[in-house]
Amino acid sequence: MTTVSTEFVRLSPDDFRTRLREALAIYVEAMRYPPGTSEQRAPMWLTHALREGWRCVGAFDAEGTMIGIAYGYKGSPGQWWHEQVRRGLVKSQDEASADRWLTDYFELTEIHVKPTSQGGGIGETLLRRLLDGVPDRQVLLSTPEGPSRAWKLYRRVGFEDVLRNYHFAGDPRPFAILGRGLPLEPPVQRV
């Protein structure tokens, strides 16, 4: 369950730009990327904030420090991720599968929680708040293969396999593409 002292805030593009360093620090730590990755990613993240349907939610502790971030936007042909996933789907399945998944979807681009804050429901709350009211028919995301808290979260909220063991250009790790229809069902109340 989410800690009572955690505040979830929808961030405007200006808020996002202002807190970009904090968000990227969480990303680098959560993904175990080498230092310097944030400088490479910053321009891309800023460009993402200009895309159609972009939305962002931040999680903040009682002192106002960012401890989690989630954002995404409407996926469209011509976007790097869309074209990479389309190529993988066509190669491993067929055009029909690519068309089914890559039409009318929200790309959950980033969702990260500071490792010391993981395990308390912050990730699920970020996911649910980000996707609440998204008008697209479905949501897609990519995540590194292998057991993780993120995998447990995605399975718990009903994400299914779209494409497994996919290698994005520029990253040697295998990734899974996961998807599900929208809207999400309400969370299961634990007794």
Instruction: Catalogue the active-site residues.
Output: 154
3-state secondary structure labels for all residues of the chain: CCCCCCEEEECCHHHHHHCHHHHHHHHHHHHCCCCCHHHHHHHHHHHHCCCCCCEEEEEECCCCCEEEEEEEEECCCCCHHHHHHHHHHHHHCCHHHHHHHCCCEEEEEEEEECHHHCCCCHHHHHHHHHHCCCCCCEEEEEEECCCCHHHHHHHHCCCEEEEEEECCCCCCCCEEEEEEECCCCCCCCCC
